[in-house]
Structure 1
Amino acid sequence: MTVSKNFEKLYKTELDGMQYEFTNKQDAIAQQISQFWAHSQATGDVKAYLEGDEGHDYAKIDKWVQARTPFTDPPNEKLAENDEVYIIGNRASFDVAQYDKASSAGMSMIHLLALPRKRVYNGVSLNKENVYLIDNMIDLFKSNWKKAEFRNKVLAHQREAIDNAKGSKDDEGYRLALKHYEELESSIHQLQAEDFKFGLHLFPDQSIPHLHLHIIAATKSMRKYSTSHHDQKTKDALEVRDMIRNGKVQVPTHDTTTTVTEAADCTTEITICECSDGCMVIAENGRFEKPDNLEICMEEYSKRQQKLSQS
């Protein structure tokens, strides 16, 4: 089959910006996590979603925590699952030729999603208590990828995504996608789990505000017909996990946050939180740090709490 010059140009444009690793983005990860938690409603909204409080008054911000999302309740079709997480296929076709906008396509000829069953918001809400979910999702994928039955399910899903993409089944984009599917069909059983990368789209880059892990076959042969538009915003999930575990980003738990105003030696409103590793920190100007006046602030806070309990 001859590929038209227009499609050849489209594929080349995407390949020119293609990434095969999503690592070395620590600064961006830290910034996005800090910016999210700097919002006054972050802790309450994350906790409300986790607890299923759909009557809660969530902040009206684009891509923010919502009462319900398309991923809140597990979809019927699961490629693999355990008690805590499950895997589904990305609905988009892998071939940019099937879309008016290249960004609408999948990121690889194999692009899966892993999700937690519990109501966990975006990756910015992971802390030392629940970041193990990343390992759980990756382990579920790796253990199942060894099974031919699972790989065949993935193959069937990728064909279904091609058939469900918008556009006529007689147009060149569809015919190209089917031709490229034959390449996937002939090579899928040679792929190893090590050929996959695991990414997160952190707030505000996510499409759906429920934690989901992107599982992407990231070899050159698997990405050559797919979009590169999401590469820059894709953060390596293991890098995010390690930054949280090693305390390189401070993510509060969701049950001990109090706002303190006009405390001694405090010039701005601050938020006192209990970190997942037990330390006390304050959020100010989008940064989580332990300032010199923390003890003074805590003393003032304790006095206020005593007055409230006596009133």
Structure 2
Amino acid sequence: MTTEHLPSLLEQMREPAYSRLKTLYVECRTAFKTNPTSQIDLMAYENRDNEHSYTLLKGLIPATLVGHSPPTNIGAPWQTSDTFFTDFKQRHPEDQVLSEDRYSLIIGNRASYDTRQYFDKPALAGMSFMHLLVIPKDKVYNIVCLDNAQIVEEMILHFKSFWKAPGSIEKIIKCIQLGVDTREKAVISNFQESKDQGATDFDQIMKEVRRDGLQLAEELRRRQCSEKLEDLILFGFHPAPLASVGHLHMHVLLAPVEFRRFSTGVHDHKTVPAQAVIEVLKEEASRTV
């Protein structure tokens, strides 16, 4: 099975990509803030109004799940104004939170990083071997509605602190492996239900996935000790309406090409560097002084 050769995500921080992505954020933000309907939706969302008919806010809980308990059977049933990240800690087991501070949580991406496990739907895979998320505890919709850069800066500081903490890399690797294992179980279950004969081929694929995963994990351990975080990590956001979940979440991605060998590049074009978000918000603030 061939894999796509993806560029380093640090290219997002270089011109002309950086300016293009910064402009994308400004355009999405302007469109959102100047649309009266989106502002009405946002007010209802922030007030947890479950009677409101949301028309423009994307990434909320699907109507078919409203009133049902989360798959974990932990916490309150889903409501109309919820997202899959709303009250995350109250709806998920403790081991699904890698780190917590006063303002945010660091959580794993439930998807596997490896497109080889997704056959004809590679876009469902992660963007890199390590694809974590930092989410605010408060109900915040997206970067398009932020008033200032404080929460973005806090999330970055939280991850930098976590990255240096003893045991952090092993937590990350365990989380990555969980995504691979979960996807493997789902694929095998689908084969069994459909009586598909592809299970033998998938078994060979999984042998390769496990082998490559062990090598990438060792490479991550080595480089975490020897390289600066800035040379390894991209912090990025997907501006609404291009975000899949309607709760602010910062993507934390291993940037070097070797960590992206088996991952998807489908979302690169909309991954706005956190630094660009901070610049836009601070530039706006300076114009209002």
Cα deviations by residue, 1:162-190 (Å, 9 ceiling, x for unpaired):
11113238513322221111112212222
Q: Is the 8 A contact 1:110 1:217 kept in 2?
A: yes
Give RMSD over aligned pairs: 2.3
Indicate yes or no: 2:117 matched with 1:93: no
Q: Larger deviation: 50-59 or 213-222?
A: 50-59
Change (3 A) 1:73 1:61: closer
SS in 2 for 1:214: strand
Change (3 A) 1:52 1:181: same
Q: Is the 8 A contact 2:100 2:106 kept in 1?
A: yes
Unaligned 5+ runs, structure 1: 1-6, 251-276, 279-311
Aligned-partner Cα distance in 2 for 1:36–1:64? 16
Residue 238 of structure 2: aligned partner:
201
Residue 29 of structure 1: aligned partner:
25
- Cα distance, 1:133 vs. partner? 0.8
SS in 1 for 2:5: helix
Structure with bigger helix share is: 2
Aligned-partner Cα distance in 2 for 1:226–1:249? 39
- Cα distance, 1:216 vs. partner? 0.2
Q: Is the 8 A contact 1:114 1:214 kept in 2?
A: yes
Q: How does 1:1-311 map to 2 (within 5 A)?
A: 7-8=1-2, 11=3, 14-15=4-5, 19-22=9-12, 23-24=18-19, 25-59=21-55, 62-63=58-59, 67-75=81-89, 76=92, 77-100=96-119, 101-128=121-148, 131-165=149-183, 166-168=186-188, 171=202, 172-189=204-221, 190-191=223-224, 192-194=228-230, 195-247=232-284, 277=288
Cα deviations by residue, 1:97-148 (Å, 9 ceiling, x for unpaired):
11021111100000000000000001111122xx211111111111111124
- Cα distance, 1:238 vs. partner? 1.4
Residue 263 of structure 1: aligned partner:
none
Structure number with bigger Rg: 1
Q: Larger deviation: 163-172 or 206-215?
A: 163-172
TM-score by length of structure 1 reads: 0.71
Change (3 A) 1:224 1:181: same
Q: Which has the higher contact order (CA 8 A, sep 6+)?
A: 2
Aligned-partner Cα distance in 2 for 1:205–1:197? 18
SS in 1 for 2:263: coil
Aligned-partner Cα distance in 1 for 2:175–2:265? 21
- Cα distance, 1:52 vs. partner? 2.5
Change (3 A) 1:33 1:230: same
- Cα distance, 1:248 vs. partner? 8.2
- Cα distance, 1:45 vs. partner? 2.1
Cα deviations by residue, 1:199-236 (Å, 9 ceiling, x for unpaired):
10111111111100000000112111111110001111
Structure with bigger strand share is: 1
